[in-house]
Amino acid sequence: MPTINAYKHDPGYYIRAWTSDLGNINYKLRSRGNTIIERFGLEDGDEISWDTIHSLKSIGEIYTEGSGTLGRDDFAPLDGDTKTLSEEEAKRLLDSILDEKNPSEQRIEELCDILDIERPRSNIERLEQELASRLAGITSREGFPTEVTLNGPVDQASISVNIEASEESTEPPLDSTINLLLLGDTSLDDPGIARHDIYLCEEHGLEGWSFAYSGSWETHAEMARQKAELLPIVIQWFDDLNVDYGIPKENFGGAQRDLLG
């Protein structure tokens, strides 16, 4: 059975394995692979399953420097050496990978196939839910400006997030439009709606933030105040995702720069 091993004098881990075709192989881990191993809970000397190794290979976090090939069929486990992860362990490994990396939907499908588990929510769905969760705390608190745009008590207001990725987008939310939809008390016939659209380009960063309004200056002014409270949370979310959103004075038109302050 392959084992995970810590270097004696350097940080990080390597995997010692053996196959009938290749003999002894030392698989080395890249920096994020080390973090994934630690998140997953493996320690020096622990056995590591072949499906874990295949998963690390799938996301490019494992290499050999010539001590063996990395083709999936080139280091299949030996007879009697086929320990695999339980469903719970497989899901935890996938979570550890998704916490550290932002793989494509195709790569997530491949990981689920390797781990023999059902595909989780799409990456876009996870991003939408995460941002909505962050924004909900501020949009439902007393003092958030909703008197003109929404109806009902502010603590009954809700927000949903929809990320519309362009055909060129390979890593949402880059090259995407992020729609923020605020709703008032949905028990009312007319809860009121306020919609904010954020435009994020991989090349130019945060290109714009617009909102739809009925035409009254009162509505426009309130949505500008909403934006002033939402923007810092969105920017912090970008930071946590390591998204380069650029410099506002270069990426926004004059009206947008005025709203940013």
pLDDT single digits (tens) 214-232: 668 899 999 999 999 999 9
Instruction: Clarify whether residues 78 and 180 are in a common domain.
Output: no
Instruction: Clarify whether residues 129 and 111 are in a common domain.
Output: no
Mean pLDDT of 168-179: 87
CA distance 180 to 195: 6
Q: Is the pLDDT of residue 151 over 50?
A: yes
- CB-based contact 117:90 (threshold 8 Å): yes
Q: Is the pLDDT of residue 257 over 60?
A: no
CA distance 24 to 68: 8
The residue from 115, 148, 169 where one domain ends is 115
Tokens of 41: 């809970």
Q: Of the ranges 75-79, 156-160, 249-253, which is most confident?
A: 156-160
Instruction: Clarify whether residues 140 and 252 are in a common domain.
Output: yes
Q: Is the pLDDT of residue 38 over 60?
A: yes
* Phi, psi (degrees; rounded to nearest 5) at 234: -65, -45
Mean pLDDT of 56-64: 88
Instruction: Clarify whether residues 44 and 172 are in a common domain.
Output: no
Nearest to 152 by CA among 182, 181, 184, 183: 184
Average pLDDT, the chain: 84
Amino acid at 106: Q
The 8-class DSSP code of residue 47 comes to B
Peptide bond into 103 cis (omega under 30): no
Beta bridge partners of 17: 25
Task: Residue 196: give the domain boundaries.
Answer: 123-260
Higher pLDDT, 19 or 118: 118
CA distances from 194 to 20, 77, 115, 152, 257 (A): 64, 56, 42, 14, 21
What are the counts of helices (DSSP H) followed by strands (DSSP E) for the chain? Answer: 8, 8
Report the pLDDT value the prediction gives residue 214, as an integer from 0 to 100: 66
Report the pLDDT value the prediction gives residue 74, as an integer from 0 to 100: 47
187-209 pLDDT, tens digit per residue, is 999 999 999 999 998 888 888 89
Higher pLDDT, 129 or 170: 129
Report the pLDDT value the prediction gives residue 139, as an integer from 0 to 100: 86
**Tokens 């989780």 correspond to what residue?**
120
Instruction: Clarify whether residues 255 and 136 are in a common domain.
Output: yes
Least confident of 45-49, 80-84, 202-206: 80-84
**Tokens 């769905």 correspond to what residue?**
125
Amino acid at 175: D
Provide the pLDDT confidence category of residue 26 given band limits of 50, 70 and 90.
confident
Instruction: Clarify whether residues 38 and 74 are in a common domain.
Output: yes
Instruction: Clarify whether residues 110 and 18 are in a common domain.
Output: yes
Indicate the helix (H) or strand (E) that contains 229.
helix 217-240
The residue from 93, 115, 137 where one domain ends is 115
Q: Is the pLDDT of residue 75 over 50?
A: no
Provide the pLDDT confidence category of residue 72 given band limits of 50, 70 and 90.
very low
Instruction: Clarify whether residues 197 and 238 are in a common domain.
Output: yes
Report the pLDDT value the prediction gives residue 80, as an integer from 0 to 100: 47
Report the pLDDT value the prediction gives residue 66, as an integer from 0 to 100: 59
Tokens of 162: 């929809």
Report the pLDDT value the prediction gives residue 69, as an integer from 0 to 100: 44
Mean pLDDT of 47-60: 90
Report the pLDDT value the prediction gives residue 256, as an integer from 0 to 100: 44
- CB-based contact 104:145 (threshold 8 Å): no
Instruction: Clarify whether residues 149 and 172 are in a common domain.
Output: yes
Count of the separate structural domains present in the chain = 2
Least confident of 79-88, 222-231, 245-254: 245-254
Q: Is the pLDDT of residue 254 over 50?
A: no
Mean pLDDT of 101-128: 84
The 8-class DSSP code of residue 154 comes to G
Report the pLDDT value the prediction gives residue 259, as an integer from 0 to 100: 42
Instruction: Clarify whether residues 85 and 199 are in a common domain.
Output: no
